[in-house]
Amino acid sequence: MSKINRNVVAAGSLLLLCAVLGMFAVHSFVAAEGERDLQQWQVRLGIVAASRAQAVRQWRDQQFNTLSGLADNLSLQLYLTELSLSGGQSGVVTDQSAQAEYLANLLVVTADQSGFSEPIQGADVQANVKRVGIAGLALLDQKGQILVTTPGTPALDSRLHDFVRGTKLGSRGVLDLYVGPTGEVTMAFLQPIFAVQGENRAADQVGAILGIRTVGSGLYARLAQPGEALRSGETYLVRKNGATVEYISPLSDGTPALKQSLALDTNNLAGAELMSRIGGFGIFSNYQGREVLATSRSIQGLPWTLIRSVDRGEALAVSDRRQLTLLIGLWLVIAVITAAIFAVWRHGSSVRVAAAAEGLRQSNSQLQTVSDFLRVVTDSQPTAIVAVDRNSQVVFANSKGGEETGMAANELIGKSLINVMGADKAEHFQRANGQVMEKGTPLTEWRVESRPTGRRVIKSDHIPLRSEGEEPSGVLMIMEDITDLVDERERRGRILRELVQTCVAVVDRRDPFSAYHSARVAEVARAIAEAMHLDEAGVETCDIAGALMNLGKVTVPRGVLTKTEKLTDAELAMIRESILTSADLIEGVEFDGPVAGTIRQLQERWDGKGQPDNLAAEEILPTARIVAVANAFVGMVSARAYRPGMSFDEASKALMTGTGTAFDTRPVSALLHYLDIEGGRQRWAHFGIPPDTE
């Protein structure tokens, strides 16, 4: 090949490289702009969704506050207490007729003031005779029979009877939205009434207040965002109904509440997707099939999900136009580069040497123009961009790349990485580039550098540069300083750990006989997870689940926790239930792994005979299997004030006996390995010391 041809080849290669760099830079910039716009919309929609969800919860709380006010009325409590003691014989209640009249008036006044009243449709009849009504308050005795109602209270049909009978004694109840007898969307609330001087236990319940009301104006108005500025902004409520998503609030297309349902498996449906991942955000299809940006929030205490959405076209119109303009500019640049390459090759093969040299000079001038343009584009990027050939010689760098080396970008061209970065840093990048050249696939790495003001974390993407079907001829390196992101993530991790430790301390103070139990379970579970080579999220899930598993004990009476005699069956059930309470308490907290699910499955057994769902074998989360083994081990070997702990050998034998029935073999084997090989016996020897002597 002649010198002229070699020059032409070199010029063409450099032009192709510039085109690749320009394409990557512009696409990266366009993608970053799009992501930034989406993040801004995620924040905006999230703020509105959170405020509307709070408004819905306040509406729900208002209903129970109304019923609680009645349930706390002393006259009402005395009346029902006497009635309960008399076995339901109202005739022996002191001044029964006067009390009943007073309670009826009390219910009427409360209903009129709180929205639990609607006009009666039909003739007014006795309370124990079926009548047409849509809302009201009813006083129920201990057996769920009506004592007093307000005018307009619906008769207790099978739905309401089942609701009253199905509500656990001593607990509040909510009958979810349904279509009432007159077509109105209706809800029912049940508030227990306890005997005078009772302790709010199920055994002390002497009656209940049943509130039935329509929800249209009171509830749905709270979904409207004050000062709504979006033409297509919409907030609505959904719930799961079998295999469908049911829309339980009015929709912007005029569809009334409870009149729209779509299949759960509808492709990319906002209601279905966001019910399964509360708090999520993305681009989905709404109930009309239109693309929307949407996010969700749960309504605590109700099986509802609140969806906040805005039409994608309205939200991203400006962003889409900006991205289209940038892409058009990119393709115009590529077209110019392609035409220049073709002209250079054609000229180099068809004219005299002098003419070819002149053409080469002109193409170099064009190359410089394109290169300058691409440098303007890449210089606007917040990341350092450097391209090197197979010999680690720099062939391109933007201004940010020059800042990384302390040199001007044009001074880097032709220099080796060692000369511009130093041996230590260059060795790191050359090793990564070597892997990319060998495998022909991109690679991402992180590097921590020391500096006077603290560490610096650099994320570097290494992308092979090659023509189609050829071996890579170089590597494009994109370096980004992610120190602030890493510091923020670590700060959040520390805050989470401090909150977990605070919760553990609260439980330890309430249950001195099990002091340090949660911390020990977390420590042992982490050791088992690391021995089983779980990823970082899995290890952290085991650690946090072990620490928080006993959080639900805050709901167990202290007398039960400190009892030294044998616990009754009811007290044992209360302790077991507290683990599920722990899972409920942290259900809405976002962790990197399934912490709440892990705690909920701690009492499941490998053979499927556990609780609460009788899961078996691989149906149980791996993290739950690990924490269950750690919990059993700590419980066996830890000394208590009223009994010594088992020896490690005795505990190991008990765990091995339980493999295949209570426990998975793998975490048990990992624990025994840690005890005997990794120094676990020495590390946990203090478990056998009673709490008051540690």
Q: Would you place residue 251 in the very low, low, confident or very high pLDDT band (cuts 50, 70, 90)? A: very high
Q: How far is CA 120 from CA 103, 124, 138, 182, 575, in A?
A: 20, 7, 15, 11, 49
Q: Would you place residue 287 in the very low, low, confident or very high pLDDT band (cuts 50, 70, 90)? A: very high
Neighbours of 197 (CB within 10 A): 8
| pLDDT value, residue 167 | 93
Residue 628 exposed, middle or buried by CB count within 10 Å (0-12, 13-18, 19+) = buried
| pLDDT value, residue 694 | 45
For the record, the structure tokens of 487 come out as 């510091």
* Cα gap 99→514, rounded to integer Å: 51
User: Taking the C-alpha atoms of 294, 295, 299 and 302 in order, what is their torsion angle to the nearest 10 degrees?
Assistant: 60
| pLDDT value, residue 517 | 85
| pLDDT value, residue 686 | 86
Tell me: pLDDT of 100 over 60: yes
Q: Looking at 118-132, 238-252, 533-547, which range is the least confident one? A: 118-132
More confident residue, 597 or 388: 597
What architecture is domain 486-693?
Orthogonal Bundle (1.10)
Across 281-301, average pLDDT: 94
CATH class label, 382-481: alpha beta
Q: Is-contact 356 9, C-beta < 8 A?
A: no
Q: What is the pLDDT of residues 607-663, one digit of tens each?
A: 999 989 999 999 999 999 999 999 999 988 887 666 787 889 999 999 999 998 999
Tell me: pLDDT of 494 over 70: no
| pLDDT value, residue 30 | 59
Across 344-354, average pLDDT: 55
* Cα gap 584→356, rounded to integer Å: 78
Across 351-379, average pLDDT: 54
How many residues can be counted in the chain?
Answer: 694
Q: What is the pLDDT of residues 390-403, one digit of tens each?
A: 787 888 878 776 67
What architecture is domain 72-219?
2-Layer Sandwich (3.30)
| pLDDT value, residue 429 | 79
Same topology for domains 382-481 and 486-693, yes or no? no
Q: Which residue is it, tokens 């509802």?
A: 304
First to last CA, the chain: 84
More confident residue, 294 or 488: 294
For the record, the structure tokens of 475 come out as 């590597």
| pLDDT value, residue 18 | 62
Q: What is the pLDDT of residues 208-221, one digit of tens each?
A: 999 999 997 789 99
| pLDDT value, residue 568 | 79
More confident residue, 583 or 241: 241
Residue 533 exposed, middle or buried by CB count within 10 Å (0-12, 13-18, 19+) = exposed
Q: Looking at 14-18, 195-199, 257-261, which range is the least confident one? A: 14-18
Question: Domain residues of the chain, as ranges?
Answer: 72-219, 382-481, 486-693
